[in-house]
A and B are shown apart, each in its own frame.
Chain A
Amino acid sequence: MSAAPLNSDPTVQSSPASNRTGYRSFQLGSFGFARDEYFVHVSWPAKGQTLTHTLSADAFLRALMRDVAWGFFYGWVNLDAVIGTRNLYGQVEMYAGRYYPAYRERGLDLTETFDTPQVMATFKAILDDWTNEGFDPFAAPDETGKSWLGIKNGHNRSAIERERQVCKRMPGLPGDAPLRTDASGYPVNRAFQDVPQDEPQVHAEPGFEADVHAFNLFAYLSRSDVTWNPSVSSVCGRSLACPTTEEYILPIKHGNDRVEWFMQLSDEIVWEVEDKITGAPRAKVRMRAGDVAAMPADIRHQGYSAKRSMLLVWENATPGLPEMYESGKLKPYPIEF
């Protein structure tokens, strides 16, 4: 069954559907986006020619899904080693080759800046058009179909329109985000069948029932229906605890504009850490349950999780932090050895 394009935003520039594949092509400034049965082709002008960069369509959709769901996130979202976005909080840079020395040193890179709503509308329209029925870009490869490949075949809007689950203070508090249950559509994931589901008992003094609270974070995470997509499970001022479940590969390389703390709650993730600007290898970090790491503000990182694992990301949402790191007022790492 066909459906009208989800996004009719006038800022979205797109072609009619291809007679051969059924997919539309898109334009964002000087950048072109096209897809075929297997691949996404991104093009941009440089030195009087048109350069193209090709990605597997499933990898591109997984990466773009995170960029959209996270609202361009903190700093840089590299969709792969060549293309990506930088969040300027109100505007967004789209770049190709900017942080890939082979392009950059030859002047073959391109960076253009857009108002955030234009990039968001374009990326949502791409996701809507290129995500076929049965493919969930948030899911692990073992949990979704192969329908990402081939010619256009329907939509999967219920999957791509999911929002990050966030709380005001903590899930389960009255008036706050609910806990996850079978009844609310969050069964225990296949990888976490052994996780106890009992909830802690809280006996608050009368009058403090709405202020004293606890919940079983492991049970909550065992019911996550997405990968590499943190929810927010506690808010204390600008301190955000963002737990998530991870399986396969983090679809993007996140270039930090602040320090992020990682706490491995179960199983194992291997992180490849690179210089944010050049991509030069900086470190390989193997985190096992109980390990804690601080990802510095001058790196980009990508994680690999062979088995579904639980990770707590601790974010500092203080406005003005990126400028403090950029200016050197804050060092890019929290500890000096």
Chain B
Amino acid sequence: MAWQHHGLTCAPGSMLCALEAIPEGGCHELTLGSAPACLSVLLWRRQGSVRAYHNCCPHFSLPLNAHAGQFLLMGSHRLMCAWHCAVFDLHDGRCLEGPAKGMALESLPVAVVAGQVIRAEDA
């Protein structure tokens, strides 16, 4: 639940991307920092609000997508990990089905301000 765990230097309030970069009802992959210490973030937009998760499946600690920027959305709010088919609820990150059941994606706090997605304060 915290950006600080990932050692990023961007301060609360820093712009992450334009809201327009995320299609309504869709996902967007954001890479922060530079390799090897970069952080991959999954952004999901729905009805004007955005949720952000560390792009890392709690099953095998692999990215949720196999191809850059391409995520497997199921219906309006579920996402399937491309590697071993764990299904997550994008409302809260909980694994609903598959090999990560009982686990959850790591949520990262963000806010939408004036058409920009920004890093919010850690909880």
Contact = CB atoms under 8 A, between A and B. Distances in A.
A145 interface: no
Nearest to B58: A168
Contact of B83 (A89, A120, A232, A235): A89
A34 interface: no
Contact of B82 (A89, A163, A238, A240): A89
A72 to B, nearest CB: 7
Contacts of A163: 98-99, 101
Given A89-B82, A90-B72, A235-B61, A164 B66 contact: no
Interface string A82-100: 0000000110000000000
Interface in A121-179: 163-164, 166, 168
B63 interface: yes
Interface in B87-105: 87, 98-99, 101
Interface residues of B, number: 23
Contacts of A235: 60-61
A195 B99 CA distance: 29
Contacts of A90: 65-67, 70, 72, 82
Contact of B85 (A116, A238, A317): A116
Nearest to A118: B74
A90 to B, nearest CB: 5
Contact of A166 (B60, B82, B87): B60
A164 to B, nearest CB: 6
How many chain A residues sit at the interface, stated as a range, is 10 to 19
A117 interface: yes
A115 interface: yes
Given A90-B70, A116-B72, A166 B59 contact: yes
B90 to A, nearest CB: 14
B21 interface: no
B80 interface: yes
**Chain B contact residues, majority secondary structure:** loop
Nearest to B63: A319
Contacts, number: 52
Nearest to B101: A163
Contact of A240 (B60, B67, B101): B60
Interface in B63-85: 63, 65-67, 70, 72, 74, 80-85
A70 interface: yes
A117 B74 contact: yes
A89 B67 contact: yes
B113 interface: no
A241 to B, nearest CB: 12
Contact of B80 (A70, A116, A168, A232): A116
A219 B67 CA distance: 39
A236 to B, nearest CB: 10
A116 B82 contact: yes
Contacts of A29: none
Nearest to A169: B61
A89 B80 CA distance: 11
A206 to B, nearest CB: 24
A71 interface: yes
19 contacts: A71-B81, A71-B84, A71-B85, A71-B86, A72-B85, A89-B67, A89-B82, A89-B83, A90-B72, A116-B80, A117-B80, A120-B80, A163-B99, A164-B84, A168-B58, A235-B61, A240-B60, A317-B60, A317-B62
Interface of B: 58-63, 65-67, 70, 72, 74, 80-87, 98-99, 101
Closest 8 pairs between A and B when the two form their complex, measured CB to CB: A89-B66, A71-B84, A71-B85, A89-B82, A90-B82, A163-B99, A117-B74, A117-B80
Given A71-B84, A72-B85, 16 more contacts: A71-B81, A71-B86, A89-B67, A90-B67, A90-B72, A90-B82, A115-B72, A117-B80, A117-B85, A117-B87, A166-B60, A168-B58, A168-B61, A240-B60, A317-B83, A319-B62
